[in-house]
Structures are given as C-alpha cells and as structure tokens.
C-alpha cells in the first residue's frame, strides 16, 4: 500500500493497481500548486464529509476518471444527481471493494456543502487492504468511539488531523493514537491556512517523547506500508 500526501486532507492511496483519492482539495490550495489534478488517477474517491476543503475537486476528477464516489448517503446522492458514479454508505457499515474492506466510522464534526445544504454526518474510514490496515480519521474531535477501531482492526497507520481549531490538535491526536492503538501516525489537516498552522518540530517531539512516530510529509511525497 502506497500513500501520497496531496496537501491539506487530500491523499492518494494505491492498493495493488487500484487508485483511491481521498478528500481532493488541490486546485484551491496554493501550497499544492505543483499537483496537477488532471494527471491524478482515481478508481475511487472517498469523501469524509461535504466541506469545501474536502470536496473542491471531486466533480472535475470524477467526470474525467469515472471514479466511484464513496461517502455517506447524502453526499453520494448529491453527486449521483449530477450524473456521477457513487457507492453510498453510513456509519458502522462495511463493504468489500476490489481493493479491500472499507468501513465508514464515526467522526465528530459538521458536514454542510459549501452552499449550506445538508451533507449528512461526517465520518472517517478504516481500510483493510493488501494485508495492511489504515484509519483515515477525517475532520474530527478526539472521541471515545476511536476505541472501537482496535477491537476489530490492528492498524498499521493512523492518519489524524493535527491542525487544531477545526479538528483535534496535537495533544488530542496523541491521545487518539492511544485510543486506536497505533504508534505510527501520519498528520494531516495542518498549515493550509492561518487557523491551523502548527510547529512541526514541537509536534514531532511530543509524539517521540511518547514513543510514537508522527510523520509530516511534503506535498507530493509518499510512504509505503
Ligand atoms: Ni471540515
Ligand atoms: Mn476540513
């Protein structure tokens, strides 16, 4: 499994020859100007919630790639009404996709579309694929529900928001890592705009002092699991 950070909360995940995009917000992110959305591959697009900083490039990419949009029922219906492909889920639901098993899990946040219309309830994803298991938290507060994840899945990586203000900050992400029983964390949802700027060195040090590894990737860089 290969995971590429595309800036903010946008990820590309490659499992075998399947390409999965998560929360594409690239053309509106000046820090990601070197990422060409017309060159991104996508068989699936996973959306954690309907906020602009998670869905901005969905229509352009889905139209070009005919990717299947996977999210909550309301978000998927919104895109199906525009003629795009979708697979609706809801919290607690699992589905076996060609890349592996996906579960839509709880997040504490909000989920309106940019025009204010209802975007269902926000979530995160647990993916079990190619013998590697990851958790993509989405935008969320620290929540006790995270403790449910390791009851069923031994994670190899947890992708957690760390920018504070709109989501968990570093101190809560450290507790979240304990809740999901994973010492390997990829931080996201930081530095994109003023409210969520963080001190990288202090963030990494806090994790290191707690025997955990916080990875902060440059936009466009990848890790292999
Ligand atoms: Ni959000
Ligand atoms: Mn967000």
CA of 100 to the centre of ligand 2 (A): 26
| Residue 173: predicted pLDDT | 98
- What are the tens digits of pLDDT across the range 28-58? 999 999 999 999 999 999 999 999 999 999 9
Q: How far apart are CA 112 and CA 122, in angstroms?
A: 9
Query: How much is the mean pLDDT over the chain?
Result: 98
| Residue 216: predicted pLDDT | 98
Whether 96 is covered by a domain: the verdict is yes
CA of 53 to the centre of ligand 1 (A): 7
Q: How far apart are CA 45 and CA 13, in angstroms?
A: 10
Whether 199 is covered by a domain: the verdict is yes
- Closest-CA residue to 114 (of 55, 28, 52): 52
| Residue 101: predicted pLDDT | 98
Query: For the purposes of burial, counting CB atoms within 10 Å of the CB of 25, is it exposed (0-12), middle (13-18) or buried (19 or more)?
Result: buried
CATH of the domain at 89: 3.60.15.10
Q: Identify residues whose C-beta is under 5 A from ligand 1, the ion.
A: 51, 139
Whether 175 is covered by a domain: the verdict is yes
Whether 74 is covered by a domain: the verdict is yes
- The CA R_g of the chain, rounded to the nearest whole Å, is 16
CA of 4 to the centre of ligand 2 (A): 18
Residue 122 CA: which ligand is closest? 1
CA of 133 to the centre of ligand 2 (A): 23
| Residue 22: predicted pLDDT | 99
- What are the tens digits of pLDDT across the range 190-214? 999 999 999 999 999 999 999 999 9
| Residue 60: predicted pLDDT | 98
CA of 193 to the centre of ligand 1 (A): 13
Residue ranges making up the domain that contains 190:
2-218
Name the domain count of the chain: 1
Spans of the chain below 50 pLDDT: none
Whether 224 is covered by a domain: the verdict is no
């Amino acid at each position: 499994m290969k995971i590429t950070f595309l800036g903010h909360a946008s990820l590309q995940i490659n499992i075998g020859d399947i390409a999965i995009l998560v929360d594409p917000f690239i053309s509106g992110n000046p820090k990601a100007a070197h990422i060409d959305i017309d060159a991104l591959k996508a068989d699936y697009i996973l959306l954690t919630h309907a906020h602009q900083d998670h869905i901005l490039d969905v229509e352009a990419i889905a139209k070009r790639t005919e990717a299947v949009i996977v999210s909550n029922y309301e978000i998927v219906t919104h895109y199906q009404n525009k003629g795009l492909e979708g697979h609706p889920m809801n919290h607690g639901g699992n589905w076996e996709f060609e890349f592996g098993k996906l579960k839509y899990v709880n997040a504490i946040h909000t989920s309106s579309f940019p025009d204010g219309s209802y975007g269902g309830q926000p979530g995160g994803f647990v993916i079990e694929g190619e013998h590697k298991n990851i958790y993509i938290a989405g935008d969320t507060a620290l929540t006790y529900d995270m403790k449910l994840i390791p009851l069923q899945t031994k994670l190899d990586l947890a992708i957690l928001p760390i920018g504070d203000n709109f989501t968990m900050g570093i101190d809560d992400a450290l507790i979240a890592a304990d809740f999901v029983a994973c010492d390997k964390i990829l931080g996201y949802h930081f530095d994109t705009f003023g409210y969520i700027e963080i001190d990288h060195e202090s963030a990494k040090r806090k994790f290191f002092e707690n025997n955990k590894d916080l990875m902060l990737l440059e936009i466009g860089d990848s890790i292999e699991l």
